[in-house]
Amino acid sequence: MDITLILVAIAGYFIGSISFARVVARVVNPAADLNQARMNKAETGEEGTVSGIGASTASIALGKKYGGIVALLDILKAFIPILLLRLIFPAEIYHLVFSILCILGHNYPIYYRFEGGRGLSPMLGSLLAIEPLGLIVCMLLGTLIAIIINQPHVSLILWFPLLALWGWFVNNSLTLAVYGFVLFVIFMIAEIPEIRLAMQYRKQGRMDEYNTMILDSSPQTRAMQRLAAKIRFWEKRNPPQS
């Protein structure tokens, strides 16, 4: 039995369970209701949810600046330990085990009745420490595909299959390919409420309204919005009507 592996897994889960959205909210504005911040009123008065409690909900409840701080802290809680594990145990997979348990802790934190976020920020922190070049390439490719098809939420879903392919074909590593697939499964499970909401909006012919809500909900999607605006892609797809 590998005691070190067990200790790393336990540490990953408990560190991941630290909800910096709640910590920052308590410091900045103890009266802020993060659960209420998850609710977004549509123009029709219907409510839609932002999945989980993390940087997105902090951004809504506390402002974009504090949402960015929460995202950074959630990235670092994965990045720093994983980097240390890679340096101390370069031949082992301890860093991958820590990453997966850290993300699971973030999504299902034991300190908060297992009500957490979607895991995107600790996933980014993990990948920055494990495969930064693959992360950058797959993020850009996924984002560009999402911009081209005018479906912002799709970019987050595309990153992880692309990462699995990157691990398999570029790094020639089955371990990294499996790791990328595991991240994809974890993220998709966390995204189930959001997928259901997107399907409801699509049936009602209100995807533009849904996309606007998603683009404004987190630091990552706001960055996508700025990229699209910079290259004016969506303006070219939807020219003004004369």
Contact 91, 2 (CB under 8 A): no
With respect to residue 130, please indicate whether it lies within any of the assigned structural domains.
yes
Structural domain contains residue 242: no
Q: What is the pLDDT of residue 102?
A: 97
With residue 82 as reference, give the H or E element that holds it: helix 64-88
Q: Is there a domain that residue 135 lies in?
A: yes
Give the domain range for residue 207. 3-237
Do the domain assignments include residue 228? Answer: yes
Backbone angles phi, psi at 55, to 5 degrees: -65, -35
For the chain, 242 residues long, give each residue's pLDDT as a single digit of tens.
Answer: 789 999 999 999 999 999 999 999 999 988 877 776 665 543 434 444 555 788 878 887 888 888 889 999 999 999 999 999 999 999 999 999 999 999 999 999 999 989 888 888 999 999 999 999 998 898 888 878 877 777 666 777 788 788 888 888 888 899 999 999 999 899 888 888 777 777 777 787 776 666 666 666 555 566 666 665 665 554 545 555 54
Is residue 27 in some structural domain? yes
What distances in angstroms separate CA 121 from CA 46, 72, 149, 158, 218, one per listed residue?
28, 8, 24, 16, 10
Is 144 a domain residue?
yes
Structural domain includes residue 10: yes
Structure confidence at residue 48 (pLDDT): 47
Q: Is the dihedral of CA 213, 217, 221, 224 positive or negative?
A: positive
pLDDT score of 215: 61
Domain count, the chain: 1
